[in-house]
Chain A
């Protein structure tokens, strides 16, 4: 049997919980939205494939070229360790890791990353963008598109926004066009039937 006072406490606690249940997702959105609006734009070259996540649906697994750094001269790195990839844009505007730093670099653009492995001067990084979520038919179409014509694969890249080491993926581009625009042009979207 619940007394009135007890019930009031439960209700107050529930209101607190409900607020927290809004606050967490809202703060997630805020951080990403402010990065998208105020962040610096970077492009990353990639080669996608297609897996599936039972909770979040279909996605393209993104393999960023910049995730392999070939010029490490510092002390041996431990797999799994967190560090900061300092970025620069090349002449075509694509991102390039110029060095790896143990602390956030002051003025330059950077991304927080994890070491996957290191072999001599080569370091494989895990950057925050490894998935692009897509509607299931679209994901299937992209997968077939890539598989049917692997030799003449169109160049693929993503555009991201960076702010204080935090990055948000903005859009996936096929042949310099946003993915859905490209698929529409190719007559692959919307899917038949």
Chain B
């Protein structure tokens, strides 16, 4: 059956070209038979990918053994063998199994790892020093990223994200700056957008969404020069608010909350940051004379922190305008974090009384919690209700640990907060059932 389906699908473009069937019919036949061809299910596909990943990593370990008996020429032959096998697998997939996601992902993953193994073994054979570790990662990633597009494969992209984040951290240390992270990140983005457009809620798009958000967060942390103290506050506030808004602009309507990575990361980030900024130490170093002075510091890269902030602000504001037009208060509460943080950041100076900074932040976090709670109660969303409760309780608990209250009072407060949690949930459930 599979062989016949494969033959039929390969014939379709010719049939369209010769006018036997039209494009729509070809598309319908393709969509109808495709599941038969790749009907191995997601579990099987994951097993294939895991297999390729393990074999690839096993090859790296075997190579890392540093076989002492091998001469330079033997090592050279060995270093190329995984690469040759990987390329043959990919070529075969492109020729014979272009429709099989398992083959595309599996062979792509193996070849991606083989590239690293090949360059790594050569570096090892010639005892290359650590001076150029960043160069090693960069070469590997550049030779690997085209596979994502040629094979339409996502696992190599996940490896690529991990690789460029690693590159950013190493390059920041070795080269003093890692601005290349940004073009590298952009090079992987079209694949994610394409996958989200095609099927936003399937497993592949979900994994890609998580990985893309985490990569941009880790990459931002790695590439920030931190030349201006505290600039990370507005940068991360804008980044999380932007991720949150991206969800509402393009990715609304997921079948369940767990399939909204952008929303989860955005909400968690906004809440996490607002709670963090209620502490006095978050604002301590801002506007002090401290600047980064180690040899790692590069002035032009320091300037780039402002470019990152400006880009983020443009992206965030572009998305926020829509929320403002629609007068959606709930979204505005979350996406508005930079509107609180940026003025406070500008206000902060060594002699600014801390209460001016902490008080508005506490107020914002409190209102955020109340609004979420209210939204949950009104619309009967258990998740919103609990998130709202969690924010309010966390805020109370944090202030509690801040202060010097006796244990007995703290104990009573914990019991009261816990009871409130249970009571509110019970109340909502009764109301929903009624």
Contact = CB atoms under 8 A, between A and B. Distances in A.
Interface of A: 1-4, 7, 10-11, 13-14, 17-18, 20-22, 24-25, 28-29, 32-33, 53-59, 78-81, 114-115, 117, 126-136, 138-139, 168-169, 180
B94 A10 contact: yes
Given A25-B118, A28-B119, A134-B68, 7 more contacts: A24-B143, A53-B64, A57-B63, A80-B176, A131-B130, A133-B66, A168-B126
A191 to B, nearest CB: 11
Contacts, number: 122
A79 B297 CA distance: 10
Contacts of A18: 87, 91
Interface residues of B, number: 51
B123 interface: yes
Contact of A79 (B79, B143, B295): B295
A186 to B, nearest CB: 15
B143 A20 contact: yes
Nearest to B144: A21
Contacts of A133: 66, 124-125, 127
A114 B17 CA distance: 61
B158 to A, nearest CB: 18
B129 A129 contact: yes
A25 B79 contact: yes
Contacts of B296: 80
Q: Chain A: interface secondary structure?
A: mixed
B122 A1 contact: no
18 contacts: A3-B13, A10-B150, A14-B94, A21-B118, A21-B143, A24-B139, A25-B119, A29-B122, A29-B126, A32-B122, A32-B126, A55-B60, A57-B64, A57-B65, A58-B66, A80-B295, A115-B295, A134-B66
Contacts of B176: 80
Contacts of A24: 119, 139, 143
Q: Chain B: interface secondary structure?
A: helix
Contacts of B409: none
Contacts of A32: 122, 126
Contacts of A11: 91, 94-95
Q: Which of A20, A28, A53, A126 has the most CB of B within 10 A?
A: A28
B129 A130 contact: yes
B188 to A, nearest CB: 16
A56 B14 CA distance: 49
A32 B125 CA distance: 10
Given A11-B95, A14-B90, A133-B124, A1 B13 contact: yes
Contacts of B122: 25, 28-29, 32
A171 to B, nearest CB: 9
Given A57-B64, A128-B129, A130-B129, A17 B124 contact: no
A24 B135 CA distance: 12
B6 to A, nearest CB: 13
A13 B119 contact: no
Contacts of B83: 21-22, 25
Contacts of B30: 1
A129 B94 contact: no
